[in-house]
């Protein structure tokens, strides 16, 4: 089950909202916990008991760490290390064992038969949330809850379990902000945010999905230059609207139940540099690596430059690996390490005094990001290199290029709006309208009507069967 399924939209969510907000405050966390377990069971029933066991394990370890006083420092450290080791071990077994063993046996010149184990739903997000919870309890950034229910709810919350955002435990522990008596404005804002996410996913990401699948399922060596560029640009947009749409839905749903959820995307394609891009894209993942890996290693406040680049290397190697067990993700992550290291070493783009030079650097940055998404999307390094080679060496075929023209014309409206909404045009219009009462009323009325229309338009696609899976659900 995913957020854009008809069952979720018309039965699961409405029923849960009614039950939740009509219940006593003391019962609400239990209702939400049970609902989260049901949601996971519907999406990955084969791993349901693993999910429950992993949740119970982390709740117990966190509770034990919190109960140990500081005079038992060694015991607390042992519990923390044990908890992290088990979480990393589970992640390694399901996600990386085949990759490591396969790479080793190929290096030895032998074949390796994959175990064919499916990846548990949201395992990377779950493990990172679990680790952050244990560390935050250990460092006393959060108080250990008097009841483990809130810890279990944080780890299993259905609004975030599949693809984040990577919220911190403080957003759920020890009690919801306002409980069941949330402000009506907050609930409405959550609904609006959810509708925005649905529209991003269904009306913008899904049409691009068909183009991307057609291009990337073709033999890379047979692509024309126009086809390769179309596929790469469409994937850059599709991935953004897919993941940003999911994040909007997750944030909106979380708000509707009275909790807070951090932002995950801040118009990343408006970036002025590679470094800034990663402060705007998947914000919560970047914050996780910053707080739990980069800063503990010394961050930028180190006595020698080589330590700074060592820290960056470790973070970006792990960032690449977190996204998938494939050498394409390793190369993709290390490419960002090199680019960010160059920016830190040269001081770019802050050193530009000319607006023209700064603008050109922004264009080059977007160009590089688009190329690296090809590596991210490709099945292997060889395919990625051939694909990129086709982009930079002219290849034409009248039949294929006619198909490219047809796809662009057929999806022209979606492509235009996909490009348009990569910039904060809606917030800009809203800020202008809010200056005057009359224009603000007109804006609010138009926004509500437009949201209702677009939501039902999106739902019509879902009902018709046009409901592609979320890309980041595979991580």
What is the mean pLDDT for each group of 10 consecutive residues in the chain (475 residues)?
90 95 89 96 92 96 84 85 96 90 77 76 94 92 74 93 88 53 80 95 93 93 94 96 95 92 95 96 96 94 91 96 94 97 92 91 96 96 96 89 92 93 94 91 93 93 80 68
Residue 77 has a pLDDT of 93
**Contacts for 460 with CB less than 8 Å, ≥ 6 apart:** none
Residue 475 has a pLDDT of 63
What pLDDT digit, counting tens, does each position of 170-203 carry? 877 654 444 445 678 889 999 999 999 999 999 9
By C-alpha distance, which of 375, 290, 355 is closest to 299?
Answer: 290
- The set of catalytic residues is 323
Residue 190 has a pLDDT of 93
Residue 178 has a pLDDT of 43
| pTM higher than 0.75 | yes
Going from N- to C-terminal start, the domains of the chain cover: 6-181, 186-463
């Amino acid at each position: 089950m995913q957020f854009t399924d008809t069952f979720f939209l018309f039965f699961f969510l409405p029923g849960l909202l009614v039950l939740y907000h009509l219940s006593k405050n003391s019962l609400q966390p239990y209702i939400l916990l049970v609902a989260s377990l049901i949601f996971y069971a519907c999406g990955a029933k084969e791993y349901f008991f693993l999910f429950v066991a992993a949740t119970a394990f982390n709740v117990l370890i966190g509770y034990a760490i919190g109960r140990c006083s500081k005079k038992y420092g060694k015991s607390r450290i042992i519990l923390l290390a044990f908890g992290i080791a088990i979480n990393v071990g589970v992640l390694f077994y399901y996600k990386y064992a085949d990759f490591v063993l396969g790479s080793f046996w190929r290096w030895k010149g032998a074949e390796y038969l994959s175990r064919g184990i499916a990846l548990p739903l949201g395992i990377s997000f779950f493990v990172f949330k679990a680790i952050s919870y244990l560390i935050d309890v250990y460092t006393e950034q959060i108080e250990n809850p008097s009841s483990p229910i809130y810890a279990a709810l944080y780890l299993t919350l259905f609004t975030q379990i599949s693809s984040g955002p990577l919220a911190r435990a403080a957003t759920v522990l020890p009690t919801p902000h306002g409980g069941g008596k949330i402000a009506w404005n907050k609930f409405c804002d959550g609904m609006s945010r959810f509708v925005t996410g649905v529209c991003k996913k269904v009306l913008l990401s899904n049409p691009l999905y068909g183009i991307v699948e057609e291009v990337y399922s073709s033999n890379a060596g047979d692509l024309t230059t126009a086809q390769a560029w179309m596929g790469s640009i469409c994937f850059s947009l599709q991935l953004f609207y897919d993941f940003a749409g999911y994040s909007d839905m997750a944030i909106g749903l979380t708000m509707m139940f009275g909790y807070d959820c951090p932002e995950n995307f801040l118009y990343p394609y408006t970036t002025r540099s590679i470094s800034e891009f990663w402060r705007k894209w998947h914000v919560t993942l970047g914050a996780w690596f910053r707080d739990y890996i980069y800063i503990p290693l010394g961050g930028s406040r180190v006595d020698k430059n080589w330590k700074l680049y060592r820290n960056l290397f470790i973070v970006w190697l792990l960032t690449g690996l977190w996204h998938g067990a494939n050498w394409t993700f390793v190369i993709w992550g290390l490419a960002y390490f090199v680019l960010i290291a160059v920016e830190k070493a040269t001081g770019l783009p802050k050193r530009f005094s000319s607006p023209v030079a700064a603008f050109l650097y922004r264009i080059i940055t977007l160009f590089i990001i688009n190329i690296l998404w090809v590596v991210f999307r490709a099945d292997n390094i060889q395919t990625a290199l051939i694909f990129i080679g086709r982009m930079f060496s002219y290849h034409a075929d009248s039949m294929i290029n006619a198909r490219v023209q047809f796809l662009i014309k057929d999806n022209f409206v979606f492509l235009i709006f996909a490009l348009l909404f990569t910039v904060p045009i809606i917030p800009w219009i809203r800020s202008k309208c809010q200056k005057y009462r009359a224009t603000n009323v007109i804006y609010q009325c138009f926004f509500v009507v437009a949201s209702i229309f677009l939501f039902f338009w999106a739902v019509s696609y879902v009902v018709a069967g046009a409901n592609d899976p979320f890309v980041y659900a595979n991580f």
